[in-house]
Structure 1
Amino acid sequence: MLQEPAPRYQGHKSYSYLEPHSDYRVFPLAKEVGRVPEYDLGLSDAQRERVTRLLTEHMAISLHEHAVVLPENVGQLREYNRTARQRTGFEGLSRSGLTAVFDNFMAGASCVTSENGWKWNDLIYALGMRMSDIYKQDYVTLATSLADIYEAKRNGQLALVAGLECSSPIENELDRIDILYGFGVRQLGIAYSQANMLGGGLSERRDGGLTHFGRRAVDRMNKLGIAIDISHSGDQTSLDVIEASRVPVFITHAGARAVWDTSRMKPDEVIRACAERGGVIGIEAAPHTTLSADHPHHSLESVMDHFKYLVDLVGIDHVTFGPDTMFGDHVGVHVTYASGYAHDAGNRPEHPRVEYVAGIENPGEAFGNIAGWLVKHDYSDDEIAKVIGGNTVRVLEQVW
């Protein structure tokens, strides 16, 4: 369910302070609100009021999103990304009810200088261009500490935490981690499916685990205060990172392999290890990922099947949500970059294809519907507060 627009949002559109067609290339963009029908949870008025109250009173933090607006014609996506001027979905975010969002900047698809992504220059272009726009308005604010997130909550703003899914752009330059920290990055993934200098990705047939350089990188992230993400790392690399890190790590966006048997999901061994060291797993919702046998048509219900399993497995203190959504045709993104996403599938079980994930299609609606589902299923206020943000805050208190 969509929330009312945040009063602090004053209608800013990305790069509106520049001259279109002259200063930047214009693309017709997807709708941030109303692109797909609103999901009906069948809530009563009292339940809807409770959802709004919970999102207002408590920290609501999405552990993984790409809060950008895609071109209306997804066939223009590569051209759009090559400009480095991805648009932030300010309007949609204003209706999300979120306190903070971990934004991962689509670095793998920001192919400014290379068709293959994950290049250092591309990363800096994408990061700097988005930040330049964020600094020109006062609703979304860059957060580099928990104090910043709390201040945003008090001020009616939305805190954006800069994150990156993959460390491949640092190559073998350890000090680039410090540079990213200096640019405001506070969350960093180890490997994005393919192996790199740090360790193995989940698409590799043999995962050699965390490398010597990877251990040095983990140590540097710990010293700086950068949250570590192992969502796209191979199983052995994930276990090695959990062991090597002096503080808890995140699985920012994944699900349970026991519920849906693909390499993109995490096995119980990794999930338990993460939780035993105090970490948290954020549940994924990108199209055709967190499916289940009971709900093979990907929807909010499929995602919540993973939630129920993970709560039973490691307890409610170690589960949250990292939906991994964006504003626009997410399925079209996967088709456009098919060679880059196919390796995530593993031996994927047969399942129906969907045009979008009903109920959790974009960053604007995801947490309202997640909170609505929890309210509908009679979870307590304390339980809901933990899984919509409290668990993430607990980890950040140790990491940052």
Structure 2
Amino acid sequence: MQSPSASYRGHQAYGYLEPGVDYADFELAEQIGRVPAYDGGVSAEQSERVSRIMAEHIVISLHEHAVVLPKDVGELRRYNRTGRQRTGYEGLSRSGMTAVFDNFMAGASCVTSENGWKWNDMIYALGLRLADIAKQDYVVHALTVDDIRAAKRDGRMALVAGLESATMIENELDRLDILYGFGVRQIGVAYSQANQLGSGLAERADAGLTNFGRRAVERMNRLGMAIDISHSGDRTCLEVIEHSAVPVFITHAGARAVWPTNRMKPDEVIRACAERGGVIGLEAAPHTTLSEEHREHSLESVMDHFTYCVDLVGIDHVTFGPDTMFGDHVGVHKTYAGNYAQNRDAAPDHPNVAYVDGLENPAENFTNIVGWLVKHGYGDDDISKVIGGNTLRVLDHVW
């Protein structure tokens, strides 16, 4: 974990309002020190190199939820029903990141519905948090690649607004334009369940990209909105990749050859994404990117997926989208387990963990990732690619 950014002046979420009067107050999870610090076995000399690399290069997380959860995860649904999730400014200030793709937890912003992905609920999640971001001067809402580069120059944090699914646009293609106008620059096709655009990875059958989905892909291309296929079914992924005029992202997933579940991507999809210029970001949500060698989920498990993907498609097409937040991520999964009709495909037995050691929240992720890469002999040029350079290359093309 890095020292706090000199540009961070202590802003706390919704600090311009009075808690308990203007909005419901909750005791929040710790942004720093919620779980024991990760011991990656990095020497003092290696640690100095980690700090230098992160200071010199643009660091981008391709997928996070940079919000702070309630300390008592039993209050999570009540918290999310307010629509007013808290950005973790303090934790972000210690992350060493230049930019974060924040996916706004729209599927859990259940203001009007317990089932998520409703248009009005998504507007709550997006609008309230962007209003708060506008009231402080450390995190900047990034709309262009130049905004990301300017954040690096100015010592600030660029936040890219993303959504994990286009479900809430229903059959209204112009809603993509509205989202772009609100500042959304990345959107997923489907979140596990099928929608008007295509099939999710949890469905028993994958019908592929619909005719409406083809039009949506074309509209996103014209707008300059990055497309994510992380939660789409395999056929839908391949058809999105083929139909898009520009590269697409797998913002947060892993390799099915390493851990055989539907949440991971098969070689065919990873290769197709890379062949069209795209990038896969390695996922670290609890109990996803496991491996036979490291069944207890940790940074080591995730890096087994990293090395596999680098061998498969080359280092120019791999990055990291850890998919973490500040608080009990395992508790989030338990809270919302009944919201989506998941395909409970058989997975190898593995231990349950309370958190992913080394990749528990956005404050620590990239310090530990770069530490692992340094310890395992990767050069500065390759490290710079996988911690941000590859993502910037795609964004230069897509945006």
Contact 2:320 2:386 in 1 (8 A): yes
Using the TM superposition, give the Cα deviation of residue 339 of structure 1 relative to its aligned residue in structure 2, in angstroms: 1.5
Tell me the secondary structure at the aligned position of residue 303 of structure 2: helix
**Counterpart AA for 1:70:** L
Match of 2:150 in 1: 151
Query: What is the rounded CA distance, in whole Å, between the counterparts of 1:256 and 1:313 in structure 2?
Result: 10
Query: What is the rounded CA distance, in whole Å, between the counterparts of 1:178 and 1:349 in structure 2?
Result: 42
Percentage identity across aligned positions?
A: 73
Deviation per CA, 1:84-140: give whole Å up to 9, x if none. 110000000000000000000000000000000000000000000000110110000
Q: Does 1:323 align with 2:326?
A: no
**Which consecutive unaligned segments of at least 5 residues does structure 2 have?**
none
TM-score by length of 1: 0.99
Deviation per CA, 1:260-313: give whole Å up to 9, x if none. 000000000000000000000000000000000000000000000000100000
Query: What is the rounded CA distance, in whole Å, between the counterparts of 1:353 and 1:333 in structure 2?
Result: 14
Match of 2:233 in 1: 234
Tell me the secondary structure at the aligned position of residue 216 of structure 1: helix
Match of 1:31 in 2: 30
Runs of 4+, deviation exceeding 2 Å: none
Tell me the secondary structure at the aligned position of residue 343 of structure 1: coil
Match of 2:261 in 1: 262
Using the TM superposition, give the Cα deviation of residue 340 of structure 1 relative to its aligned residue in structure 2, in angstroms: 3.3
Contact 2:203 2:343 in 1 (8 A): no
Shift of the 290–79 alpha-carbon distance from structure 1 to 2, 3 Å rule, reads same
Match of 1:356 in 2: 355
Contact 1:287 1:356 in 2 (8 A): yes
Query: What is the rounded CA distance, in whole Å, between the counterparts of 2:185 and 2:16 in structure 1?
Result: 28
Q: Write the mapping of 1:1-400 to structure 2, written as runs, cut at 5 A.
A: 2-340=1-339, 343=342, 345-400=344-399
Query: What is the rounded CA distance, in whole Å, between the counterparts of 1:26 and 1:277 in structure 2?
Result: 47
- What RMSD in Å do the two structures reach over aligned CA positions? 0.8
Contact 1:264 1:345 in 2 (8 A): no
Query: What is the rounded CA distance, in whole Å, between the counterparts of 1:345 and 1:367 in structure 2?
Result: 31
Equivalent pairs counted in the alignment come to 399
Deviation per CA, 1:42-82: give whole Å up to 9, x if none. 11111111111111111100000000000000000000000
**Counterpart AA for 2:240:** V
Contact 1:334 1:341 in 2 (8 A): no
Query: What is the rounded CA distance, in whole Å, between the counterparts of 2:348 and 2:341 in structure 1?
Result: 14
Query: What is the rounded CA distance, in whole Å, between the counterparts of 2:377 and 2:276 in structure 1?
Result: 29
**Counterpart AA for 2:203:** E
Query: What is the rounded CA distance, in whole Å, between the counterparts of 1:190 and 1:345 in structure 2?
Result: 21
Contact 1:6 1:95 in 2 (8 A): yes
Contact 1:218 1:244 in 2 (8 A): yes
Contact 2:193 2:341 in 1 (8 A): no
Tell me the secondary structure at the aligned position of residue 253 of structure 1: strand
Query: What is the rounded CA distance, in whole Å, between the counterparts of 2:86 and 2:345 in structure 1?
Result: 32
Shift of the 342–328 alpha-carbon distance from structure 1 to 2, 3 Å rule, reads farther
Using the TM superposition, give the Cα deviation of residue 354 of structure 1 relative to its aligned residue in structure 2, in angstroms: 0.1
Shift of the 341–46 alpha-carbon distance from structure 1 to 2, 3 Å rule, reads farther
Query: What is the rounded CA distance, in whole Å, between the counterparts of 2:210 and 2:345 in structure 1?
Result: 23
Query: What is the rounded CA distance, in whole Å, between the counterparts of 1:349 and 1:115 in structure 2?
Result: 31
Shift of the 344–322 alpha-carbon distance from structure 1 to 2, 3 Å rule, reads farther
Query: What is the rounded CA distance, in whole Å, between the counterparts of 1:297 and 1:374 in structure 2?
Result: 20
Using the TM superposition, give the Cα deviation of residue 345 of structure 1 relative to its aligned residue in structure 2, in angstroms: 4.8
Query: What is the rounded CA distance, in whole Å, between the counterparts of 1:354 and 1:155 in structure 2?
Result: 38
